[in-house]
Chains A and B, each alone.
Chain A
């Protein structure tokens, strides 16, 4: 088990190197640091002095891959590639491109907890809600309940999550005044601000997931062991909850694993709509102000989270199904 996890982590490292190369190519070969400087300083007239100052402050004046002037190992370390790309591996994100940006690592540390408070409940409760809803549909399979449930799912899937957020914010915050429109506070107060975004994201993601789970459960419900269970005289609820659910667990874990990057996006939208100071709103602000250093850092961080969560999912496989061995 430990050896397996270590090997997966090693492969994850190799993947991260690939991610890093892609981002480096994307950010430093399509456009030169001079272009970025011009964009970031803004204004009509940008003097070469200003550009030079901007580059020196952020270390973009150094050579890309190999520094001829430096001594020894510094030939490699005193370069843009080393400082901006390799150092990401020790989570040294450096300075933001914008004048007021400050240290990226500090910002991420501040905002990470807030983001997790938002996304973890969405993930866990979303999974629970869709499993329960789809099991309920499968219990009524072949009836009108099932038919209209599926219709509702298809319609709800066709509505952009932006609509849910905008309408939800309007109805519950502005008209009914049940929750604050936007903002955030630390401690227990956070619940007040987080409850509406969480509920809205739950509704937005429920339909697609539930519909997919329903097909999984239907597939299982047609198998022989289910008939046997019924023949033994078990109640429908026991059959569904004990037998069908347990056997459909693996594809559910896989699909919720692949939903993790989407969770990041959900965080992006809700955080910026509700003014929650997490990583999502940080990223949106960075994109809006074209701060490439922050975007680069978030790409890296996002892939780290993705790889780690994938390993966790593989571990979850063994818990869900003892037949799965880790090799």
Chain B
């Protein structure tokens, strides 16, 4: 095969796609199982959860598009073997190629046509150096340089700028409204049959409103970025588009949030259930191990592990071919470390629940029938603690995204070459102490991060309310609070 590119399967890509497959299988199971379906329905009845789900869905889509990586083939050299670019790109980069290409020299404010700081204007070629009355060369005039992409097509930037932006906002907004209208018709067709059952209707309206707002924002973003090449969130110190960096950070946040949570599950499930089921010395040993783990301040343990991994990676450069592969291996190992150090909480929870379950009649019956320990744990106990696993998983997700920022700040987070919210905040810290301050990359990271974490939190709350039998007892009161009359 002689393709003009080479597919690159990164570690995290593989895991993300496998996780998607797992999610698909779970969805299929939910559709078949009436009880599970009813419980999940309770989640999507909550408007805030539905709105969050839409936003998270869009972010997940971006993550997945950003998880197909390839390297372009370099032009053939006569007689040479086929060579590939050292840069690894993703499908998302193809879609955002306009943002990548529109690189400026340095800082520029959002939607600016000129640079942020003054630069010496180079004298026009052939002009004589200017001398003042004493014969000393005059310093070149300093002015705000015109950006090479932001509003480059405008003839008179000062005069045309506002009008151009307004036209673009109108067109982008119109596109958004059209999409919103299409979604509305779709919703009307979809939502009708579910009204009949007398249950609370699924919150399609919240989903539609969120989708419309997102469509509007995306419409504006596209209208401003394409064509005149405005930088919606400005540019950073080396002139990279901040919007592009923020969109790329979404994948990092998702990888950390999901992969690190998944990585805790094997330990927590195996040890938690074993400790609760066998009791005795097994329980003692497992309790000892997780007490040891949780007595070390988490961040120090992670820092220690990451430092070790760094030395290991420096010693083994043969494990990766390109810079991106190295960064990817690092984030993959970081997730494993987070998993290895973070299972104590869930393990404790599962142990307590298993201790309760093993005394119940159906487990005793299984024991009396001579069912093996392994089978009892797998068939009788595991399915009955799954709701705890689910609740903890969704609750952890948002916490880990926040944690990533802290880890990056401490210097044990993702690779600095990888776009991440933590890295952006870290940079923003320096930018905020400049005078005049550079606030836009901080704002961009803030807006995206709060949007993701907030929706993850709201979704997790709804999942907990639906799946936790303890929370359900208080639900009537919670509902009365949620809907003030």
Contacts and interface: CB of A to CB of B under 8 A. Distances in A.
A31 B312 contact: yes
Given A143-B484, A166-B429, A170-B432, A26 B304 contact: yes
A306 B296 CA distance: 7
A19 B308 contact: no
A307 interface: yes
B482 A292 contact: no
Nearest to B429: A166
Nearest to A296: B304
A18 B292 contact: yes
A71 B412 CA distance: 42
A19 B311 CA distance: 22
Interface in A238-297: 261, 264-265, 268-269, 273, 283-284, 287-288, 290, 292, 295-296
Given A155-B454, A287-B307, A296-B304, A303 B296 contact: yes
A157 B305 CA distance: 28
A35 B300 contact: no
Counting chain A CB atoms within 10 Å of each CB, the highest count among B291, B296, B432, B449 belongs to B296
Interface string B274-296: 00000000000000110111111
B458 A160 contact: no
B78 interface: no
Nearest to A170: B432
B410 interface: yes
Interface string A294-327: 0110110011001100100000000000000000
B370 to A, nearest CB: 38
A146 interface: yes
- Secondary structure of the A contact surface, majority rule: helix
A299 B300 contact: yes
Interface stretch (B129-137, B199-207, B226-234, B401-409): B401-409
Contacts of B296: 19, 22, 299, 302-303, 306
A147 B481 contact: yes
B477 A261 contact: no
A202 interface: no
Contact of B425 (A14, A23, A163, A287): A163
Contacts of A161: 402, 406
A160 B297 contact: no
Which of B295, B305, B432, B454 has the most chain A CB within a 10 Å cutoff?
Answer: B295
B120 interface: no
Given A30-B311, A31-B312, A166-B442, A269 B406 contact: yes
Contacts of A166: 425, 428-429, 432, 442
A288 B310 CA distance: 12
Contact of B311 (A39, A222, A288, A310): A39
B288 A18 contact: yes
B157 interface: no
Contact of A160 (B293, B300, B425, B437): B425
Contacts of A157: 457
Contact of B304 (A15, A23, A144, A265): A23
A307 B295 contact: yes
B450 A22 contact: no
Interface in B410-431: 410-412, 421, 425, 428-429
B311 A31 contact: yes
Contact of A265 (B398, B406, B457, B461): B406
A99 interface: no
A298 B296 CA distance: 9
A141 interface: yes
A162 B454 contact: no
A15 B303 contact: no
A288 B481 contact: no
A269 to B, nearest CB: 7
A287 B477 contact: no
A188 interface: no
B297 A162 contact: no
B300 A31 contact: no
B474 interface: yes
A269 B409 contact: yes
B300 A295 contact: yes
Given A265-B299, A292-B307, A15 B292 contact: yes
Contacts of B303: 283, 287, 295
Contacts of B314: 39
Contact of B292 (A22, A26, A268): A22
Contact of B315 (A35, A174, A296): A35
B449 to A, nearest CB: 6
A301 to B, nearest CB: 9
B288 A160 contact: no
10 contacts: A14-B288, A31-B311, A141-B477, A150-B481, A159-B446, A219-B474, A268-B410, A287-B411, A299-B304, A302-B296
Given A144-B484, A170-B437, 5 more contacts: A292-B304, A295-B304, A295-B307, A306-B296, A307-B295
